[in-house]
Amino acid sequence: MCLPSCPTYVETRRERNSPRGRIALMRAIADDEQPVSRSFGEEMYYCLGCLACTTACPAGVNYAELFETARAEVEKKQVLDTPQRSFWRWLTLEVLFMRPRLLRAVGWLLRGYQQSGLQKAVRTSGLLRLLPSNLRRLEPQTPQISPAFSNNIIDEVEKPPAQTSRYRVAVLTGCVQDLAFSNINRDTVDVLLANGCEVFTPAVQFCCGSLHAHNGAPELARELARKQLDQFDVESLDAIISNAGGCGSHLKHYHSLLKGDARYEKRAQLWDAKLKDIHEWLVEISFRQPTAPCNVDEATYHESCHLTHGQKITAAPRQILRSIPHLKFVELPESNWCCGSAGVYNITQPEQSARLLERKLDCIAKTQMSVVATSNPGCHLQLAGGLVTRQSSNCKEVTQPVTLLAQAYRNEKRSMMVNE
């Protein structure tokens, strides 16, 4: 039953690239019938970790946990190690994504490089040919850094008009989201304010650790989870809001991650219960339907795997899109099929990622829509990158449901001012 749901199996039609094939290999290792080999390691990193198989599974197998454990085992046994791979893993997992201020400093440098025109100059100069081929291939995918980071445009505490205040929530700004899509964090805060939520957004936040958990570094993931729990006064909040499908899926499992940690286990349980995806939360508090339209006329919707398969949230984002007046919403064929972004998959498995992106762009083209909405920074970057290379596509814009909702709320105020 899992076979037709698995993007890698559908591509290759080889059992080892299927969920049940991978589970059979994991089981063979657990039963000592099979060593943790390089070939096994490669297979675990060929898996997208999209979790589509968990939606299809009749027996409710917890593939996410199996997959994270298997990748951790691959790292422990060092079967894939090369000096280059170890260096990049060290730089990203152990340095940059453990130190939010350093990550922002790198973002700041990158922004300077992009804004000064240097990037353009370098790209046209041919200097890039000096890079090793794998870096050269990745260079065009460097995310465009936002003109301002989240803390520049969101105050630590923002309050809705006093009489409407109903809830106290915290907003998690994320890492990639913070660097590349701080405007989406702003939109998230705005829609929360418009629905009576007092919003608490710490200026400097740690990575949620999903990158680490999905890439075989559970210890670092646990360390980051503890830091998150230290940063928020979980008890006093009604909800902790994540607006990135991939992060949210991981953030909701701190309890199982910190199992056995006497100091944190209980708080982690409370955290999991209060952790809400933004769409989920908006629907839960019966968000107010906007009276004004947003800035686009039409949109289709691509589901983030970890929102759909990881968190099983499928109706809420659509409900938000449908609530916006005059927005024509058309379903995307295969909307829950992975776009190939899959965390860092587009970097580690560029060919398979490109094939999935092509498949996704073909589906988007079928809808004839000019805008595609999604709800995860990885998908957002992947789709935006794909649409740039496919000039023929009708679709020119990638956005997010919260952005469209925030626009609609803002337009209400504008139309009121015009009326006055």
Partner 1 sequence: MEPRIADFLSGIRQAVGSDQVLTESEDLVPYSFDGTAAIKQKPLCVAFPANSQEVAACVKLAARYAVPVVARGSGTGLSGGSVPVDQSLVLCLLRLDKILEIDERNLTLKAQCGVITKDIDDAAARHGLFYPPDPGSMKISTIGGNVAENSGGLRGLKYGVTRDYVMGITVVLPDGRLVQLGNKCVKDVAGYSLKDLFIGSEGTLGIITEVLLKLLPRPAARKTMLALYDSMEAAAETVSAIIAARIIPCTLEFLDRVTVGCVEDYARIGLPTDVEALLLMETDGHPAAVDDEAARMQAIAIKHGAREVKIAADEAESNRLASARRQAFSALARVKPTTILEDVTVPRSELARMVSFIRKTAGKHQLLIGTFGHMGDGNLHPTFLTNERDAEEMHRVEIALQEIVEETLRLGGTITGEHGVGMAKKVFLKQQYTDDSYALLKDIKQALDPQKMLNPGKIFE
- Given the structure tokens 């997010």, which residue do they identify? 400
Joined tokens for residue 288: 């107010």
CA 84 to CA 87: how far, in whole Å? 5
- Binds partner 1 (CB under 8 A): choice among 48, 49, 50, 59: 59
**33 or 331: CB nearest partner 1:** 33
Note whether 355 binds partner 1 by CB under 8 A: no
CB 344 within 8 A of CB 377: no
CB of 71 to partner 1, least distance (A): 16
Beta strand spans in 274-344 (E): 275-277, 298-301, 328-330
Could you tell me the strand order of the sheet in which 239-242 lies? 157-158, 197-200, 167-171, 239-242, 275-277
- Binds partner 1 (CB under 8 A): choice among 40, 97, 264, 287: 40
**46 or 167: CB nearest partner 1:** 46
CA-wise closest residue to 140 among 415, 333, 384, 420: 384
Note whether 30 binds partner 1 by CB under 8 A: no
Coil, strand or helix at 9: helix
Note whether 280 binds partner 1 by CB under 8 A: no
Within a 13 Å sphere around the CA of 127, how many CA atoms are in the beta-carbon half?
8
| Subset of residues 174 to 193 that bind partner 1, contact rule: CB under 8 A | none
**34 or 348: CB nearest partner 1:** 34
CA 7 to CA 18: how far, in whole Å? 9
Note whether 55 binds partner 1 by CB under 8 A: no
Note whether 16 binds partner 1 by CB under 8 A: yes
**61 or 347: CB nearest partner 1:** 61
> Residue 10 forms beta bridges with which residues?
none
The single-letter DSSP state of residue 139 is G
CB of 32 to partner 1, least distance (A): 13
Select the span of 23-31, 219-227, 282-290, 311-319 touching partner 1 (CB under 8 A).
Answer: 23-31
Select the span of 18-26, 148-156, 240-248, 367-375 touching partner 1 (CB under 8 A).
Answer: 18-26
Name the residues that contact partner 1, by CB under 8 A: 1, 3-4, 13-16, 18, 20-22, 24-25, 28, 33-34, 37, 39-40, 43, 58-60
